[in-house]
Amino acid sequence: MNISDKMIVGTILAENNIYDEILGPSVKEAHLPFTYVKGDLNSSVAGLYNQIIDNTNQRFIIFAHHDAEFSPDIIHAILSSYKDSVIGAIGRSSIFGYVWAHEVPRGEFLEVEVFDACLLVFDREKGIRFDESFTGLHMAVEDYCYQAREKGYKLNVPHLDKFGHRGVGTYGGNNADTYRFWREKLFAKWHTKFQVRTT
């Protein structure tokens, strides 16, 4: 089976030139198909990601920000870890602090408690969707992480030869009050089961 039958990269596009400069070359180097939805500061990440899920049929969707870049070894990382874990490229752990995929020792995975939203690998066979009650830009991916952990999956950051998140462009919305609102919603949903962390 061709790897493109199993995997696709999905993103929310706000500025095409950023995709062309940063994420696009990684997608081409990995020889993966690509799909996108348009978004802006008023978008619901959960709703847009579920739209991508509903409009594709590949098992794995690499949800990546348009200003993230990764190396082709992400394919091997996915295929090496999908059975018992969800993978992402930046995580936070009470033991290791922040964990970036390019800093993980070669051939290893480090378990974390939550992923940053810049890259998450979705596996439709795990039966998890993004909670659309998180209607803003923040915490939909973090909520996905806690859903996965509730089902018994580990959150693993693999070694990648290259990973970066440049943090450029207007999509993202860093308003502190908005971020705090969604973080409090995440805490209210999960604090009785987990020590709630965000990135």
pLDDT of 176 reads 63
Q: Band the pLDDT of 3: cuts 50, 70, 90.
A: low
∠ CA 60-56-17, nearest 5°, is: 85
Q: Band the pLDDT of 175: cuts 50, 70, 90.
A: low
Q: What is the mean pLDDT of the chain?
A: 91
d(C-alpha 79, C-alpha 87), whole Å: 10
Domains of the chain, residue spans:
3-190
Mean pLDDT of 165-183: 72
Mean pLDDT of 95-106: 95
Q: Band the pLDDT of 118: cuts 50, 70, 90.
A: very high
d(C-alpha 191, C-alpha 199), whole Å: 16
Whether residue 162 has pLDDT greater than 80: yes
pLDDT of 4 reads 56
pLDDT digits (tens, 9 = 90+) for 30-77: 999 999 999 877 788 999 999 999 999 999 999 999 999 999 999 999
Q: Band the pLDDT of 6: cuts 50, 70, 90.
A: very high
pLDDT of 173 reads 53
d(C-alpha 111, C-alpha 93), whole Å: 8
Tokens coding 113: 């408690």
**What are the residues facing 64 on neighbouring strands?**
119
CA-wise closest residue to 70 among 52, 50, 90: 90
Are 136 and 181 in contact by the 8 Å Cβ rule? The answer is yes
Fold of domain 3-190: Spore Coat Polysaccharide Biosynthesis Protein SpsA; Chain A (3.90.550)
